[in-house]
Amino acid sequence: MKKLKADIVIAGGGLAGLTLACLLANQGLETICIDRDDPHKQAADTFDGRTTAISYGSSQILTRTGVWQQVKPHGCPIKHIDILDGASDILLDFKAEDQPFGWIVENHFLRRALFTRAEASKGLTWLTNEEVKDINLEKDAATIKTNAHHIEGALLVGADGRQSFVRQAAGIRSRFKDYKQRAIVCVVEHEKPHNNIAVEHFRVEGPFAILPCPNGPKGENRSGIVWSVPTSSTSPKNWSEDAFNMALQARFPARYGAVKRGGPIWEFPLTMNHAEKYTNEKNLALIADAAHGIHPLAGQGLNIGLRDVDALSRLLTGSDDIKIILAEYQRMRRPDNTGMVAAMDILNGLFATDFMPTALSRKIGLHAVNKLALAKEFFTRKAMGV
């Protein structure tokens, strides 16, 4: 078993973990990133059909990483957001002024750009097809064993997802909630252009999001969908193509014209988890889904994970005292994430009911926000991640 040593060891080579790895390498820190998956498989179009909403704030972080220049041409800017409630007309509409709210990017484009950057980054050792088997956090330095290496680092960063092995091995508890929903994800084609509009339609069975995508290779008008359905019902993934397309048509606003499925369908369970703390105070930090996983209804999951990345990377260049860094990281990130976890949980519950008093109060509240300039500015800035 080979021995390796670094300043920072990151367990998890997903979008957040590899972004942090590239950032830290840019900053001159010797970094090891452990990824259990094969990058060639992950780079394929068939690996992950999801799209990601990259907020304006997140684009600035990816610019620091050195990948946004490659990713941006594959993204579609969001210039307008419509929020609908049930069968009603638009209740909230947000229009971007100088900058887009963000961009919709297909995950494989972002992943490929990060892979290219990781391979070119001096000071970054990227271990792929390796899995963390054991960690020891008893001493000041963290020690990590994989199937091929024995690694030591001043700081271990857990970026290994909602079922984080690192979090569990460190004994950090996490609050978990099963929404009893699944997300149906695919790209669809529609007769008329989307005009850079994103739609979040809150329905009793779960939210239905329409996300503008760049045109297809033959000029097809395309959008991504995130369709939340109860796990107790038959999955739309198993429906006939005609039935699936009819359901899409019923859920899309008329302005899109005829709608049909434009690619494979993926399905993901919807849950919430939130770690009771993000550090062990001496040699461990949790980021992104390892620290907090939220409902995707506002498309903010990766964005708040990238804010973790940004905060931790800046703190690591500002001080050599890991304990001080970890205390400050906890102080900076947990309030922001706690608010977002709670907001997504409350919103999902609030809109998942047609109980008349609740529905009426909800509608009055949304109309009020739409009329108040300061309230709309607040939500606009939140959507942009600034």
pLDDT at 166 over 90: yes
Looking at this protein, which amino acid is placed at residue 301? G
* C-alpha separations of 117 from 27, 110, 199, 311, 379 in Å: 14, 11, 33, 20, 33
pLDDT at 201 over 50: yes
Q: What is the pLDDT of residue 366?
A: 55
Other CB atoms within 10 A of residue 196 CB: 17
Comparing C-alpha atoms, which of 382, 173, 385, 157 is closest to residue 273?
173
- What three-state secondary structure class fits 32? strand
Q: What is the pLDDT of residue 298?
A: 66
* In contact, 83 and 202? CB cutoff 8 Å: yes
Residue appearing with tokens 């993901």: 268
Spatial separation of the C-alpha atoms in residues 327 and 322, rounded to whole Å: 9
Residue 196 backbone phi and psi in degrees, to 5: 60, 30
Residue appearing with tokens 């669809």: 188
In a 10 Å sphere around its CB, with 0-12 CB exposed, 13-18 middle and 19+ buried, how is residue 360 labelled? exposed
In a 10 Å sphere around its CB, with 0-12 CB exposed, 13-18 middle and 19+ buried, how is residue 287 labelled? buried
pLDDT digits (tens, 9 = 90+) for 333-344: 999 899 888 877
pLDDT band, very low/low/confident/very high, at 36 (cuts 50, 70, 90): very high
Spatial separation of the C-alpha atoms in residues 6 and 29, rounded to whole Å: 8
pLDDT band, very low/low/confident/very high, at 47 (cuts 50, 70, 90): confident
Polymer length of the chain: 386
Buried b (16+ CB within 10 A) or exposed e, 3-17: ebebbbbbbbbbbbb
Task: Report the pLDDT averaged over residues 194-204.
Answer: 89
Do β-strands 90-95 and 80-85 pair in parallel, antiparallel, or remain unpaired?
A: antiparallel
pLDDT at 375 over 70: no
Tokens of 199: 């739609």
pLDDT digits (tens, 9 = 90+) for 281-314: 999 999 999 999 988 766 788 999 999 999 999 9
In DSSP terms, 85 is beta-bridged to: 202
- What three-state secondary structure class fits 72? helix
Instruction: Give every CB contact of residue 377 below 8 A, 6+ residues apart in sequence.
Output: none
In a 10 Å sphere around its CB, with 0-12 CB exposed, 13-18 middle and 19+ buried, how is residue 383 labelled? buried
Spatial separation of the C-alpha atoms in residues 308 and 306, rounded to whole Å: 5
What's the mean per-residue pLDDT of the chain? 87
Spatial separation of the C-alpha atoms in residues 113 and 117, rounded to whole Å: 6
Residue appearing with tokens 């419509």: 82
Q: Does an H or E element contain 44, and which?
A: none
Tokens of 321: 């005292």
Q: What is the pLDDT of residue 355?
A: 44
Residue appearing with tokens 């909630």: 177
pLDDT digits (tens, 9 = 90+) for 54-106: 999 999 999 999 999 999 999 999 999 888 876 556 577 778 777 888 999 99
Q: Which CATH superfamily is domain 2-61+107-176+273-351 in?
A: FAD/NAD(P)-binding domain (3.50.50.60)
Q: What is the pLDDT of residue 87?
A: 55
**Where do the domains of the chain lie?**
2-61+107-176+273-351
pLDDT band, very low/low/confident/very high, at 1 (cuts 50, 70, 90): confident
HSE-up of residue 95 (Cα within 13 Å, Cβ side): 3
Other CB atoms within 10 A of residue 64 CB: 17
Comparing C-alpha atoms, which of 143, 95, 149 is closest to residue 125?
149
